Amino acid sequence: MAVTEEEMVRATELGPLFHTFSITARCPRTGRLGVGIATHAIAVASRCPQVKPHVGAVASQAHTDPRLGQTAIRLLETGFSAEKVLAELVESDPHIQHRQLAVVDRDGRSAAFTGSANGPWAGHRTAPGVVAMGNALVGEGVVRAMMDAFVRTDGEDLEERLLRAVEAGRDAGGQPNGQRSSGLLVYASEPYPWVDLRVDEHTEPVGELRRIFELYKPLREFFRVRAAHPDIGGEDEWLARR
């Protein structure tokens, strides 16, 4: 997705703001829930994504308060829909105009909020089971490219779709001063993550996240099986058998 010169100049003039783009989604085929995210700040995955299996996925970004994501998960556990959770967060947070929120519930309903105090370009797109959003980006094309990439990869594993969406956001221009950290968090049916990968500080964190994911991908099932069957051997044996 091409970025116009006008968009790039305007974004560059913003200065050192909080810049983040993310995609939050549920896979209707497997029920997996997850978040893919990148930003210019350090260690974004330690603050912004919250996921619980069979419950929902949340991204809380911009001038983020991690407690918002935690609260959202608790509300989703009680059976609140994504729309109701978002309404409660907007109503209860006195600084909500500084926030950007995405909520996807266990039934694939999605809701999002972009506060008016977010630096331009800021906004979101929603569809059944997915929210793409970002703030202080080079332009709307970043979020549009993320959503398009996610839709095009229907049939792939959720973690692959999320990562491709983040890559598409980067390739569409991402943030005016580049990215510094990234993360990919996906839960399946177990109470521990199916994929939980982070790049906390790197000159090209999305590319580094892809490199790590390709190493981890053939071992996803190994770590799940080994939890109940510790006698299956080591990683090298597992890979050799496949």
Report pLDDT digits (tens) over 9-54: 343 344 444 579 999 999 999 999 999 999 999 999 999 999 999 9
Mean pLDDT across 81-87: 98
Mean pLDDT across 126-140: 96
pLDDT of residue 51: 98
Is 60 exceeded by the pLDDT of residue 6?
A: no
| Residue 176 or residue 40, greater confidence | 40
Verdict on whether the full-model pTM lies above 0.85:
yes
Task: State the DSSP code for 225.
Answer: H
**What is the CATH number for 70?**
3.60.20.10
Q: Hey, what amino acid is at 192? A: Y
Count of other CB atoms within 10 angstroms of residue 224:
15
Q: Mean of the per-residue pLDDT values for the chain?
A: 91
Is 90 exceeded by the pLDDT of residue 1?
A: no
Place of tokens 């995955």: 45
Count of other CB atoms within 10 angstroms of residue 32:
23
**Looking at the 3D structure of the chain, how many domains does it have?**
1
pLDDT band at 2 (very low <50, low <70, confident <90, very high): very low
Domain with 151, as residue range(s), is: 5-241
Alpha-helical segments (H) within 78-140: 82-92
pLDDT of residue 18: 52
Count of other CB atoms within 10 angstroms of residue 161:
25
Place of tokens 């929902």: 56
